[in-house]
Amino acid sequence: MDTLHIDNLGDPVDEWEFQYSHELDWTAYFWPMPSREPPIASRMATLSLPQPRIKPQSLEMLLKQTPNLKIPEYGRLDDAPPEKYDLSDLKAALDHVKMTLTRIMVRFVVGHSLDQLRREEPRETVHVLSGTLGSFRDYPALTHLEISLHALFGSGGSKRGTPLSAVLPSNIVSLTVTDDLLTFVDFQGCFEDAAAMDIFRRYLGGACGDKEDHWAVEGEWKAATPCLNTCLYDLRRYGHLGQGYWSSENVRSKFKRMCEGQGLEGGVLWVEDKHECE
């Protein structure tokens, strides 16, 4: 077996087992299909967990058994998270297979459904989310990354002004930035609207501010991630909940021209294209 897709994985490890994990044998894993042999973890290349309900520490135990994993797909959707989720712990789990990973997709949606977000004030993630996933600079095989700026930098990263060039894998070919965690106030809007454009401009090269009379010859991507071919900003889920900056077709066109000016494929995926992501 080279691919394992688990739609809703519960956490098989309780708090007592975590506390005494150093005394337990974690080499044995239960397989829910008694008539079939369990998968050989060392041969697994793709692991898809679109709606996991496991702690990052449990995922880390799993990834320790998959030294040849290339593509992990990890999503998390919680209406009422039972405890704070530390993105740094998730990163620590991924670090066990950083030499082989070629593609990472992390989708992280906390709290309200889309209908609730339309009616209620934005929530803070301070009680449900902490840490950061960046940096992926020491992931030599990683060429495709799908992630939000919020998860990549974390709320602390919003104050440091860390550039994309400092956290993306050096051999990245395709980057898709998603709108997960949009409108949560503890990120201070540092990864949304015009602030997001400023981050992309610094990375890709382009006009300073909203004017187009001062263009950089090239962005930081050229030296930091020279293999980059595609850069997409996917705002199809929650983009319309922002301050309206990206709702302007002119702004979205600027982003596309910025990519094309660097010889890259790219653009903004907007709400009108939502059916394509469902």
Question: With 80 as the cut, is the pLDDT of residue 46 above it?
Answer: no
Residue 228 confidence (pLDDT) above 90: yes
Give the mean pLDDT of 98-102.
Answer: 86
Q: Which pLDDT band, with edges at 50, 70 and 90, does 36 fall under?
A: low
234 within 8 A of 177, measured Cβ to Cβ? yes
**pLDDT greater than 50 at residue 54:** yes
Give the model's confidence band at 101: pLDDT under 50 very low, under 70 low, under 90 confident, else very high.
Answer: confident
Identity of the highest mean pLDDT range in 157-166, 203-212, 249-258: 249-258
143 pLDDT more than 80:
yes
Q: Between 64 and 190, name the one with better pLDDT.
A: 190
Q: Which pLDDT belongs to residue 256? A: 95
Lowest pLDDT segment from 20-24, 110-114, 115-119, 181-185: 20-24
**Residue at token pair 């106030």:** 185
Per-residue pLDDT at 197:
94
* For range 208-231, the mean pLDDT: 76
Please report, for residues 104, 106, 147, 214, the alpha-carbon distance to residue 224 in angstroms, rounded to integers and kept in the order given. 19, 22, 18, 22
pLDDT for 71: 60
The more confident residue out of 228 and 78 is: 228
**Does the pLDDT of residue 183 top 80, yes or no?**
no
What is the residue-wise DSSP string for 49-96? Answer: ESS-B--HHHHHHHHTT-TT--EEEEEEEESS-SS-EEHHHHHHHHGG
47 has pLDDT over 80: no
Higher-confidence position of 2 and 201: 201
Across the chain, what does the average pLDDT equal? Answer: 73
Residue 244 banded pLDDT, cuts 50, 70, 90 = confident
Element (H, E) at 109: strand 103-110
Cross-strand pairs, 177: 147, 233
Token pair recorded at residue 274: 């939502």
Degrees to nearest 5, angle at CA 115 with 152 and 11 = 55
Q: Is the pTM of this model over 0.85?
A: no
pLDDT in tens, 11-33: 444 444 444 444 444 444 444 44
Out of 145-159, 222-236, 244-258, pick the least confident: 145-159
